[in-house]
Amino acid sequence: MNNVYILGGLRSPIGVTNGIFKEILIEDLTSNVIKDVVDKFKLKDIEEIILGNSVGGGGNIARLCSLNSNLNVPAYTIDMQCASALESIAIGYSKIVAGLKDLILVGGVESTSMEPIRSYSKNHPKYSKDNNEYKVAKFSPNNYDEHAMIKGAERVTEKYGFTKDDLDKYAICSHKKAINARDSKVFNDIISPINRVIDDEGIRVNVNERLLSKVKPILGKGNKITAGNSCLTHDGAAILALCSERYLKDNNIKGSFKIIDFSEVAENPDYSPEAVLYSINKLLKSNKLTSNDISSFEVNEAFTVITALINKKYSINERLNIFGGALAYGHPYGASGGIITLHLLKALEVVKGRYGIAAIASAGGLGVSMLIERI
């Protein structure tokens, strides 16, 4: 079995919907990052590009991005919703492990600002002449519900006994960590500037308990998920280069990060945030590790109930999203797995840790986790 290494990668700044990147086409946003990755790591003989995307217009956006980057190589797009980019890394890893490829670009892209308007075909049972548009896809066989993800987060919140104050405290913590990371320029060497923009748009300096206490639950009185403790929608791209040991030797490069393993689980879609916990459990067990062996966890924080859940299980607050989570930075669905992977590499570098885990929950009750070793 061939070893697989992450040479490195870059991400764009993260913009909010209809914010700093509202007029930038997704292929232009992404090709900017791809070109910078190629230049920074002096990549040659790229064999394939695999990108995640969730709400784009289809048409194989990865191939469009490759051509827009002057890379005429095979490319394809995958949709695993929030886990798309992390799964793209898993697929690239598998091809290199099998000896099929030596250098692959992976990651993900999303532009909710450019998200197409969806409407039902006249043949669909939900077709209506009066109001035919819909925004959120159907993620389980149950009746269509545009609030399915929020309701899933509410169910997990209730199941584990978290209060709204609990969730809000994680939101405040996430923003504070992100502000510290931004001010210390910890991510400057992994950000690909877009039109000279380098800062993430969603980080807020004025988030506090008093402010969040006034934010009403999205689903009404008695619920706990609010716009203050759940992610908004965002634009962004993240690209990483995976390579084989042969590529390292042929190009006289020393590898710094090795991918050890992946875990994918399918759980109850009505409790979708919980899937990330099961995927981490499975990954630790299959590699005969405990949470104490992991120097840093990067878990996608679509809802703060996710970080609350992971911390409740493992008591790893000091090692969990040490620079803040997606609640502060943003969650451009198809790119988020790549973003948390880049943040994990930086975290392991800063704390000089050995093992790290990147993990993400996805619509439909799916969870994906990756184990990385700093060498």
- Classify residue 321 as exposed, middle or buried by CB count within 10 Å of its CB (0-12, 13-18, 19+): buried
Please report, for residues 9, 41, 176, 308, the alpha-carbon distance to residue 239 in angstroms, rounded to integers and kept in the order given.
6, 12, 26, 28
Whole-number Å distance between alpha carbons of 220 and 163: 15
Topology of domain 4-114+232-250, CATH: Peroxisomal Thiolase; Chain A, domain 1 (3.40.47)
- Classify residue 255 as exposed, middle or buried by CB count within 10 Å of its CB (0-12, 13-18, 19+): middle
Closest of 326, 281, 282 to residue 307, by C-alpha? 326
Contact predicate 262/90, CB 8 Å: yes
Phi/psi at 159 (5° precision): -60, -40
Whole-number Å distance between alpha carbons of 237 and 190: 12
Residue ranges of E strands in the chain: 4-11, 15-16, 48-52, 75-78, 103-111, 118-119, 133-134, 234-244, 257-266, 294-299, 355-362, 366-374
pTM: predicted TM-score of the whole model, two decimal places: 0.97
> How confident is the prediction along the chain (375 residues), in pLDDT tens digits per residue?
899 999 999 999 999 999 999 999 999 999 999 999 999 999 999 999 999 999 998 899 999 999 999 999 999 999 999 999 999 999 999 999 999 999 999 999 999 999 998 898 999 988 888 888 888 888 888 777 889 999 999 999 999 999 999 999 999 999 999 999 999 999 999 999 999 999 999 999 999 999 999 999 999 999 999 999 999 999 999 999 999 999 999 999 999 999 999 999 999 999 999 999 999 999 999 999 999 999 999 999 999 999 999 999 999 999 999 999 999 999 999 999 999 999 999 999 999 999 999 999 999 999 999 999 999
Contact predicate 19/63, CB 8 Å: no
